[in-house]
């Protein structure tokens, strides 16, 4: 038998537990956050600028699903990569298919290239944007749901493609006012012949330091030793620091390819730094690898990165197709730009002086919005309260709609920067607002 007091305590505990679960459920999932209008405005600026810059280079926007069959990523990113083994959000749907929220954009675009038979239209030049998902440890500049913009160029094996793609990234950073705060790191991964020869040399070196390698790197050593060069483990990094450099084992064809790329960047006045430690550990990467890096974001310093992936489409079952592209983190670019760069839209406040002019104000608001002006029409309140709202919104001016003014076919236009007010004829209102924008 439960005593009344104990029964009450149990119910009380259960109610509080339920409340705690409700509160937890009402919080964003760890590694995600809500982008409120102030922040999303800056994100939109990054995306719109990237779209516009890519458009000047002839890149059209592509929109692929945010989830794919898991095999799209498992096969392309590598079964031993951290993304596949630790970070992918994978689930089984009601049909029993294994699906994965996209952790990056390139594999989905390569799949779309094959699915839609785009090889006959090559070269294909596309821009993309949207959310990506990785189960990483959240920290500044790294989220589990994050957003990227990127470009892919498929069907061009000439180094001119590499130069174009890198230049496009640099133009974007220039347009965002960030070119002076980043450094372009550049390296060559060589062709298949160069990488095969280097692989043997690297494996021999790493085997002689097996006892110092992490378990992850020991696994990679058997399947894809170049991925050891990507390791973030401090012990691995100490070993890698003295490893033979791929750049020292490039054949002449690979050296010539790199020389064409560096010459093109020099001609376009795009500064760069050759970085022999910059690698891409996946089999389909070759030749050019690059990153734009800043020191202003702590450990998450890479803001835009890419490379040439001539083997990807073939590895996925499509025709042999060269490719090169890059992706940039929207959140990181926005953080680097800072709040001062956030676009500020200053509305015009439409202020009826009383109920008798609210319908007229409603019609006038619709007319001005159709003309392209940002109009805030308060829903209720006295004239004083509506003017205070206009101040809170940092409105550029207040359009005061009173019965006497309307009878004369005009409104009052108060400049909220100077305090000056003038009567403006209704048919001249658009022109008067345009002078204040």
Last residue of a domain, one of 308, 340, 372: 340
CA–CA dist 129, 115 (Å, integer):
20
- pLDDT tier at 2, thresholds 50, 70, 90: very low
> Which residues, at least 6 apart from 238, have a Cβ–Cβ distance to it below 8 Å?
212
Per the domain annotation, does 229 fall within a domain?
Answer: no
- pLDDT tier at 123, thresholds 50, 70, 90: very high
Sign of the dihedral defined by the CA atoms of residues 130, 135, 141, 145, in that order: positive
Tell me whether residue 285 is annotated as binding: yes
Tell me whether residue 234 is annotated as binding: no
Tell me whether residue 315 is annotated as binding: no
Residue 31 Cα distances to 1, 15, 138, 337, angstroms: 47, 28, 5, 22
Per the domain annotation, does 262 fall within a domain?
Answer: yes
Per the domain annotation, does 3 fall within a domain?
Answer: no
Tell me whether residue 210 is annotated as binding: no
Q: Which two tokens stand for residue 386?
A: 């509506």
Based on the domain organization, do 164 and 292 belong to the same domain? yes
Last residue of a domain, one of 310, 340, 370: 340
Residue 192 Cα distances to 149, 286, 287, angstroms: 29, 7, 9
Across the strands, what pairs with 324? Answer: 153, 308
Based on the domain organization, do 305 and 174 belong to the same domain? yes
Tell me whether residue 190 is annotated as binding: no
| 371 vs 437: which has the higher pLDDT | 371
Based on the domain organization, do 55 and 144 belong to the same domain? yes
Based on the domain organization, do 295 and 381 belong to the same domain? no
- pLDDT tier at 418, thresholds 50, 70, 90: very high
Based on the domain organization, do 398 and 261 belong to the same domain? no
SS3 of the chain: helix, strand, coil, percent, to 5: 45, 20, 35
Based on the domain organization, do 59 and 133 belong to the same domain? yes
Based on the domain organization, do 379 and 328 belong to the same domain? no
Residue 430 Cα distances to 82, 137, 187, 389, 410, angstroms: 57, 52, 55, 22, 12
User: How confident is the prediction for the chain on average, in pLDDT?
Assistant: 89
Each residue's pLDDT tens digit, 206-238: 999 999 999 888 988 887 788 788 787 899 989
Based on the domain organization, do 100 and 56 belong to the same domain? yes
Q: Find the CATH number of the domain harbouring 130.
A: 3.30.930.10
Tell me whether residue 106 is annotated as binding: yes
Per the domain annotation, does 318 fall within a domain?
Answer: yes
List the domain range (segments joined by +) for residue 285.
37-191+251-340
Tell me whether residue 39 is annotated as binding: no
DSSP H helix total and E strand total for the chain: 16, 16
CA–CA dist 174, 162 (Å, integer):
18
Neighbours of 52 (CB within 10 A): 12
Tell me whether residue 321 is annotated as binding: no
Each residue's pLDDT tens digit, 65-122: 999 999 998 877 766 566 666 788 999 999 999 999 999 999 999 999 999 999 999 9
Q: Which two tokens stand for residue 338?
A: 């800072």
The tally of domains found in the chain comes to 2
Based on the domain organization, do 76 and 170 belong to the same domain? yes
Each residue's pLDDT tens digit, 354-380: 889 999 999 999 999 999 999 999 888
Per the domain annotation, does 394 fall within a domain?
Answer: yes
Last residue of a domain, one of 340, 362, 390: 340
Per the domain annotation, does 103 fall within a domain?
Answer: yes
Neighbours of 374 (CB within 10 A): 15
Q: Find the CATH number of the domain harbouring 424.
A: 3.40.50.800
Based on the domain organization, do 67 and 146 belong to the same domain? yes
Tell me whether residue 129 is annotated as binding: no
């Amino acid at each position: 038998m439960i005593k009344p007091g104990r029964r009450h305590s149990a119910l009380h505990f259960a109610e509080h537990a339920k409340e705690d679960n409700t509160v937890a459920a009402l919080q964003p999932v760890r590694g995600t956050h809500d982008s409120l209008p102030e922040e999303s405005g800056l994100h939109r600026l990054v995306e719109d600028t990237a779209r516009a810059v890519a458009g000047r280079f002839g890149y059209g926007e592509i929109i692929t699903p945010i989830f794919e069959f898991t095999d799209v990523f498992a096969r392309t990113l590598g079964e031993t990569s951290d993304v596949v083994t630790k970070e992918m959000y994978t689930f089984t749907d009601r049909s029993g298919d294994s699906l994965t929220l996209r952790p990056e954009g390139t594999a989905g675009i390569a799949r779309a290239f094959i699915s839609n038979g785009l090889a006959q239209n090559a070269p294909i030049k596309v821009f993309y944007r949207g959310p990506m998902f990785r189960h990483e440890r959240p920290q500044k500049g790294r989220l589990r749901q994050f957003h990227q913009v990127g470009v892919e160029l498929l069907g061009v094996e000439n180094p001119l493609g590499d130069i174009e793609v890198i230049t496009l990234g640099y133009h974007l950073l220039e347009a965002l006012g960030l070119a002076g705060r980043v450094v372009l790191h550049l390296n060559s991964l060589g062709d298949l012949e160069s990488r095969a020869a280097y692989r043997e040399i690297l494996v021999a070196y790493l085997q002689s330091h097996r006892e110092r390698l992490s378990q992850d790197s020991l696994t990679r050593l058997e399947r894809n030793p170049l991925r050891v060069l990507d390791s973030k483990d401090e012990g691995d990094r100490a070993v890698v620091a003295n490893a033979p450099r791929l750049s020292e084992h490039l054949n002449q064809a690979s050296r010539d390819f790199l020389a064409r790329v560096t010459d093109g960047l020099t001609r376009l006045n795009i500064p760069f730094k050759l970085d022999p430690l910059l690698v891409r550990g996946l089999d389909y990467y070759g030749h050019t690898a690059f990153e734009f890096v800043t020191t202003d974001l702590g450990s998450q310093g890479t803001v835009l990165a890419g490379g040439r992936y001539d083997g990807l489409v073939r590895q996925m079952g499509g025709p042999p197709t060269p490719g090169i592209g890059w992706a940039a983190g929207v959140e990181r670019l926005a953080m680097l730009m800072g709040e001062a760069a956030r676009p500020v839209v200053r509305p015009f406040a439409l202020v009826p002086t009383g109920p008798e002019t609210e319908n007229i104000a409603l019609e006038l608001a619709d007319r001005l919005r159709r003309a392209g002006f940002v109009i805030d029409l308060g829903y209720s309140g006295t004239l004083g309260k509506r003017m205070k709202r206009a101040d809170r919104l940092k409105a550029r001016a207040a359009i005061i709609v009173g019965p006497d003014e309307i009878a004369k076919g005009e409104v009052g236009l108060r400049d909220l920067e100077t305090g000056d007010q003038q009567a403006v004829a209704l048919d001249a209102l658009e022109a008067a607002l345009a002078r204040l924008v």
